[in-house]
Amino acid sequence: MKRAALLALAALGGCVSAGERADAPPAAAVVPPPAWRTALNGADPVTADWWRKFGDPALAALVERALANNVDIAIAAARVEEARAAEALSRAQLLPQVGGTLPETQGQSVSALGQPSRAISAQPSISASFDLDLFGRLRLASRAARAQLLASEGARDTVRLATAATAASGYITLRALDQRLSIAEATLAARNDALRIARRRYETGYSSRLEYRQAQAEYAATEQLVPAARLAIARQENALSLLVGDSPGPIARGLSLDRIALPPIPAGLPADLLRRRPDLYQAEQTLVAADLSLDSQRAAFLPNLLLTGSAGLVLSSALKEPIGIFSLGASVLAPIFDGGRLAAQEDAATARRDQAAFAYRRTALTAFREVDDALAGVARTAEQARALRDQVAATRGAVSNATNRYRAGYSGYLEQLDAQRSQLSAELSLVQVEADRLTSFVSLYQAMGGGWR
């Protein structure tokens, strides 16, 4: 079945199979969710350089370096070349095979008079053979190899898209870690001021030793956040360096996390979604190849006609004139008794075709789920971010009020400490949610096959 028909059936919940076979497994049907989500805002088409929509040149440069230097992409490209060679080999089976030989012999004979004589002879010849392929066995095998080549190209594009999405998500994670480090350092500075005030109040006898110890403990607890954040940054940089094919080292930064743009969400129906995804295209072509291989295996039960011919000359120093020779022949090959080998091979090909059909169904349903998850992530993280921004603003006001009351002697240190802890937790949560929201956009682009032409 052609690709457009497969995708249309997948979108409408029809039966997905290759070659419209009546014996395709019924469980291959793909049904989209009953209430499919639509775009939340905007209707911009998916582009091959979707990562530029985030508006960060450093992010775009990192993704493009990964696409140019990633080792997994290079391996996938080499597999495409292997499949291309296999497809060329299968096409060569459809053409006649022509060969030539030039044997040379030397001999010595004795004449009736007892005189020895030496003779040199050669017999150049050309031979040809051609399989008529009466029932399409070789043609079907060639078409199956072509489908496998297309499937390998889909696998390569899947790796490219996953690499681009991983690079973009990794960069967003790195910028979130940078912001967490900035928050930890700013909080540590605030804890240092609180510790200094608690020490002075304790030394002057204005507060108890308990408040001073609490300030010390809180300063130490905040201090350990700094090396932890730096360790996470170093590991994330090393992971991104590996992704772009470099040795471990620093990664260039661009915009801060809160300045990275939120791109408009591409709109599209489920059928359009499926056409953009290279992994679904790979599963589809794998199904087509398995179905064609099954037909080729069935054709092996039928007779096969092979034509052969050869022509040549006999040249010898013992002959006055060369002698021309030729031969023509045909052979019919048909299985009579093979102990069930062909039947077993057909059963195996049928099982592989069924596996490919079920894999196609799973891939299509996974596509629906991933888009739905990404759209839900974009919407829900936006709601979380709004609530956390309000919480951060409220905790900052609470810290300011608690600090003033503590310094004026109207409240104890625990009130200020509790407000500071709430502020730190809210700020770190806001950074994480903002990173999750941007990552949801990346996941949406990947789920819709955004980076694949």
Residue 118's DSSP bridge partners are 108
Can you read off the two tokens belonging to residue 431?
């950074």
Chain centroid to CA 416: 50
- Minimum mean pLDDT among 42-46, 150-154, 304-308, 414-418: which range? 42-46
User: Of 314, 334, 354, which residue constitutes the final position of a domain?
Assistant: 334
Q: Is residue 453 part of a domain?
A: no
Q: Is residue 216 part of a domain?
A: yes
* DSSP H or E segment with residue 357: helix 341-408
Q: Is residue 238 part of a domain?
A: yes
Q: How many residues does the chain have?
A: 453
| pTM score, whole prediction | 0.81
Let me know whether 167 and 55 are in one domain.
yes
Residue 319, C-beta contacts closer than 8 angstroms, at least 6 positions apart: 121
Between 113 and 419, whose confidence is greater?
419
Residue 260, C-beta contacts closer than 8 angstroms, at least 6 positions apart: 54, 55, 56, 59, 172, 175, 438
Indicate the DSSP class of residue 266. Answer: P
Cα four-point dihedral sign 298, 348, 23, 21: negative
Let me know whether 171 and 122 are in one domain.
no
Let me know whether 181 and 238 are in one domain.
yes
Let me know whether 53 and 176 are in one domain.
yes
Let me know whether 359 and 312 are in one domain.
no
Share of the chain above pLDDT 90, in %: 33
Let me know whether 234 and 313 are in one domain.
no
The residue range of the domain holding 328 is: 96-132+302-334
- The 10 Å CB-count burial string (b at 16+, else e) for 242-279 is ebbeeeeeebeebeebeebebbebbbbebebbbbbbbb
Q: Is residue 173 part of a domain?
A: yes
Let me know whether 402 and 366 are in one domain.
yes
> How far is the C-alpha of 29 from the C-alpha of 362, rounded, in Å?
10
Let me know whether 80 and 200 are in one domain.
yes
Q: Is residue 63 part of a domain?
A: yes
* DSSP H or E segment with residue 97: strand 97-101
Total domains in the fold of the chain: 2
Nearest CA-CA partner of 180 in 260, 240, 258: 258
pLDDT tens digits for 328-351? Answer: 776 676 677 667 787 887 888 888
CA distances from 282 to 28, 38, 180, 207, 278 (A): 16, 25, 40, 71, 6
What number of other Cβ atoms are within 10 A of residue 410's Cβ? 10
Q: The CATH number of the domain where 408 resides is what?
A: 1.20.1600.10
pLDDT at 58: 95
Indicate the pLDDT class of residue 250, thresholds 50, 70 and 90. very high
Question: Does the structure show a pLDDT above 60 at 244?
Answer: yes
> How far is the C-alpha of 379 from the C-alpha of 29, rounded, in Å?
30
Q: The CATH number of the domain where 327 resides is what?
A: 2.20.200.10
pLDDT at 252: 94
Between 161 and 141, whose confidence is greater?
161
- The pLDDT of 14-27, averaged and rounded, is 42
Let me know whether 83 and 113 are in one domain.
no
Question: Does the structure show a pLDDT above 90 at 228?
Answer: yes
Share of the chain above pLDDT 70, in %: 76
Let me know whether 191 and 242 are in one domain.
yes
pLDDT tens digits for 77-118? Answer: 999 999 999 888 888 887 787 777 766 565 555 455 555 666
Crossing angle between the packed helical segments 278-299 and 341-408, to the nearest 10 degrees: 170
Let me know whether 249 and 329 are in one domain.
no
126 three-state secondary structure: strand
Cα four-point dihedral sign 46, 52, 56, 59: positive
Let me know whether 313 and 350 are in one domain.
no
